[in-house]
Amino acid sequence: MPAARFYSNVIGSAILSRFIGARVMDSQSGFRLIRADLLRDLQLTATGYEIETEMLIKLVRAGATVDRVTVRRLQYAGARSKIHQFRDTSRTCLLAVRYRYLSG
């Protein structure tokens, strides 16, 4: 993983972990295993990358636990990310405040 992506992920995940009260190692990973009954009851409003943040906060609030499974082989092979590290990490962190404290 390129350094900029790695550090924006580490910083964003650390901040998010504090908001949700559970340790999250990769907050923007699209790999999730979620119980269907919990997922059905979620009312999500996010439309971009911040959906991962909203989902994690609301799932933990609904009683879900967060666990981690290591992905052993991950290859970027020079693939460009669509995430803008500073802008999207900042937006995700600010929206974490909203989802945690200001929304139902």
Separation between Cα atoms, residue 20 and residue 7, nearest integer Å:
20
The answer to whether 76 and 1 have CB atoms below 8 angstroms apart is yes
Separation between Cα atoms, residue 87 and residue 76, nearest integer Å:
21
pLDDT tens sequence across 77-101: 666 666 666 777 777 777 777 777 7
pLDDT tens sequence across 2-45: 777 778 778 878 888 887 778 888 776 777 788 888 888 888 88
Domain count, the chain: 1
Q: Which residue has the tokens 């390129």?
A: 2
Q: Which domain holds residue 39?
A: 3-71+80-102
CA dihedral sign, ordered 75, 51, 98, 104: negative
